[in-house]
Amino acid sequence: MKLVEITEAEFDVELEIRYASHNNFTGSPIYSRAACFLNEEATEKLEKAIHLAGQLGYRFKLFDGFRPTEAVQALWDHTPNPDYLAPPTSGSPHARGAAIDLTLLDASGNELEMGTDFDAMTPLSHHAVTDIPVEAQKNRVLLLGIMTAAGWDNYMNEWWHYQLFKPRRYPTLSDRAAGTNMMDHSKESE
């Protein structure tokens, strides 16, 4: 399976790959380099979503795309919570290049208010909650509308997570198998 690198210049998106920084729920980088990849079908659907958002005066900020199986395991080892993370045994849609975590930016490049931060593992992150400001509810609906119009499925517990329908038709990939060079392999035994 071929993965496509999603770059700021080529796709007119902003990248803030959280798992390549300390700014994520683990407090430590999981990836050794900040990069975003998707499989070819997901790339086509992202391009459609980018076009639809652009027509409305918005752009996307991407937090994560392809997540190598090593990263899926590391996140699960830190926080084994099936409400917000796919267990490694079931195979995350991210490990298939079939999921994207993102938010909307306004014309000035500011993130729209969504009521919680990315990866907030709380019921306030769920779609359709009403315990967040009305503006955040509207922004979530806007994001949901753009993404579903572009052919994405959503995950009810995370306003930022969208995936292809039936992602399990794609295989899960390790960093080496995908050739993404996102993980630090220097500590692995030969």
Dist CA 103 CA 105 (whole Å): 7
For residue 144 the two structure tokens come to 């949901």
Counting residues of the chain whose pLDDT is more than 70, the rounded percentage is 98
Dist CA 189 CA 81 (whole Å): 29
Q: Strands of 106-144 (E only): list them.
A: none
Catalytic residue of the set 10, 16, 47, 158:
158
Question: Is 190 a known active-site residue?
Answer: no
Among 141, 137, 119, 117, smallest CA distance to 129 is for 137
pLDDT classification of 190: cutoffs 50, 70, 90 = very low
pLDDT classification of 186: cutoffs 50, 70, 90 = confident
CATH fold for domain 3-178: Muramoyl-pentapeptide Carboxypeptidase; domain 2 (3.30.1380)
pLDDT classification of 149: cutoffs 50, 70, 90 = very high
- Own/partner pairs for 76-79, CB < 8 Å, 24+ apart? 78/25, 78/26, 79/25, 79/26, 79/121
**Residue 189 pLDDT greater than 80, yes or no:** no
Which residue is it, tokens 């993980």? 183
**Residue 43 pLDDT greater than 80, yes or no:** yes
Supply the pTM of this predicted model.
0.95
Please provide the average confidence, as pLDDT, over all residues in the chain. 96
pLDDT tens-place string over residues 51-78? 999 999 999 999 999 999 999 999 999 9
Mean pLDDT of the region 145-155: 98
**What integer pLDDT is reported at residue 153 of this predicted model?**
98
The distance in angstroms from the start CA to the end CA of the chain is 26
Q: Which helix (H) or strand (E) holds 6?
A: none
Mean pLDDT of the region 71-90: 94
**What integer pLDDT is reported at residue 188 of this predicted model?**
57
* Domain layout of the chain by residue ranges: 3-178
pLDDT classification of 185: cutoffs 50, 70, 90 = confident
CA angle 92, 59, 56 (to 5 degrees): 120
Mean pLDDT of the region 6-30: 98
